[in-house]
Structure 1
Amino acid sequence: MSLGHACVDVYQGAVAALVPFFVAERAYSYAAASGVVLAASLLSSVVQPLFGALTDRWSMPWLLPLSALAGGAGVALSGVTGSYALTLAVVAVSGVGVAAYHPEAARAARAASRGSHTAMGWFSLGGNVGFALAPLLVAAVVATGGLGASPLLVVPAVVGAALCAAAVRSGTGGGADGGRGGEGIGTDDWPSFLRLSGAIMCRSIVFVGLSAFVSLYVRQRAGGGEVAGTAALCVLYAGGAVGTVAGGRLAERYGRLTVVRRAYALSVLAVAGLVLVPGPAMYLFVALTSAGLYVPFSLHVTLGQDYLPRRVGTASGVTLGLAVSVGGLAAPVIGALADATSLRTALVPLIALPALGWLLLSGLREPASPGRAAPAAGPPDRRSRAVSA
């Protein structure tokens, strides 16, 4: 499941990685380039909670390989479309594919993890590795062959579909059904869930805004051309590989909300340094920003699932989808402001958003976690739960 997640989330990172090439080869403005990011996010943000609600009612493991193929096909076609409108359309198809994948995948991973924060961190790590590899993959294909070589980007989708199909055949799909059996335990806490979602939206706007423009910004502020920009984007994504696993381990020791709040506080200082400090020091602040944004990533998902124990699919769809994808809705605003003023001016407001997220999280309490309650019940209960799963 983790490897399949990596193959699917390559296509979330690939859209932002393609932005500099659209600007260079097609002379897109900042606003037009950010519109491509919006196209990948808009439908995804709308339909992902819908897929979550559907998976709350029916098991759809077949959706995993199908959605992987759809996510890859859209990005693969984006470089060979003949118009801006067609580019937006195929990127939107990719966004829908990614949206369809996450709720059922998160449910299956949660069932397989038996409620372990660390295990969910490994699942989330797969997605973050996909993000991190996206700039390297796009650079290897498009920097050498131009946008016309983009059909080669479908390869991870084919691999991901095969991995997802293998996971379904080996019983992971059944694990998703087993996850349904645990629902109905406890009461849905919608106020806390909505506050958590608001914080995730703040994080999302920062992450997507930087994903779309940090490559261009570093070129301006640190020099070094395409190599410098690609390196900065890789640092932003690669930090997630460490941050996501670290977040799960830290949560086991200090508690999820404590870790999440401190990560948001770190993000305020890190984003400020990235935007305001010039020169090579920018790379340090890119790394710190990555840590601050990624440490709480998997914890957002398990917190959301525990705040809505009766609607795990819906919670997964929102925390992995709507709240995350909303950052793409803000990207055109950042791009338009950059066109009207400067890219630095457009990025300055991102400093305040992690602080707002911290305020939203400050009054939350740790929810009950039914998935983690089972081990404390003793060996007979563990066996019965394993049989039911």
Structure 2
Amino acid sequence: MRHARRPSRAPAKPSAPAGPPVDLSIESLGGEGDGVAAGPIYVPFTLPGERVRAVGGGERRELDAVLTASPQRIEPACRHFGVCGGCALQHWTHKAYLAWKVERLVGTLALQHIETEVLAPFAAAPGSRRRLALHARKGSREAARVGFKARKSWDLVEIDECPVSDPRLVAALPALRRLAAPLFEHPKSAPTLHVTLTGAGLDIEITGVEKKSGGGLTADARMTLAAIAAEADFARVTIDGEAAYLSRQPAVRLGPVVVALPPGAFLQAVPAAEAAMVKFVGEAAAGADRIADLYCGVGTFTFRLAEIAPVYAAEGSAAAIRALSSATASAPGLKGITAETRDLAKRPVLAEELKRTDLVVFDPPRAGALEQTAELARSKVSRVIGVSCNPATFARDARVLIDAGFSLDRVFPVDQFLWSPHVELVGVFTR
């Protein structure tokens, strides 16, 4: 029998009701990536088929030792794994891990009695993520503590590496620690640095800085912040959307255009995942005469769709619509884009407004698009393409469309958040 103690990098066991260690057989993996034994009892960092020793009480225990390891167990890629709350599945072979994500997606659809063709998934590579949300806590006068939240805790895990992230983001960590140092004039400040790698360099939007009675940071703190940003050659630093430093306008290329990003703009986390989804959506949209792109953001899909047919684009963020419209003005060879700021949850595009539209693309937040889906179900639209970061709300909304006469023809799984339990997808509906 193989008897392996848990790696020293694993977290200390949190306090739990007293109870003797128990030996468990892991039967499957739960939705958050924890191993599941009979009971059910959940044990993190375990794999199906393993025999493990767990400690604690209740249905959620902690791993003490792997007694019989799965042949699919591998060495984690990051020294912070097990303590950092960012990754849950670095200890699993990639093939098995990816198959589990696809199975989860199929199972989630099945809960709504939906069966469809599931295509081969896109899998993000290590070192490919261009966006990070880094939490900062007060450190020394010269450098703050910067990292991610600990697993099941509000504590901060300072990171020195992150194999998920683009190496240029990892290389910037020392400068980001210095940048965060002046942000703690108010004792309740708990800043988050939303860092995006753009064509112009790093774009950093800072939230969570408490305002002093005079409002915002002092002039001295702002000068220090700007000096650090200049020394690090950051493109832009903003605080709650207001410019604190600007050297170059952050921008990204979306199909045939370059879009100037507003502060805090949403982008897909991995450029290769974005490219794969845009390609898939473009192929599924071929032949359309008039298109609506709902929850369009700054135009991730809009510009590719506008190469096919005229597009109506709607999004709740006024800044995103301004960026999209500005880029449209200089975009060559497009069929035409009409953009509108619109809260699609409170004011969905009505079926009557879609009379001349034959294809709708929607890419809502995690809560889904139930109100908008109801209008699509009432409409005469013949094709719908749904993009989702939450299979559960996608399945709920898909059920509404299917009950209205649509069929879900195929689904494209997207593993954009490597080593996490999250899976995204693009689904194509026809009526």
TM-score, normalised by the number of residues in structure 2: 0.21
For CA contacts below 8 A with separation 6 or more, give which structure has more relative contact order: 1
Which structure shows the bigger proportion of residues in strand conformation? 2
| Structure showing greater Rg | 2
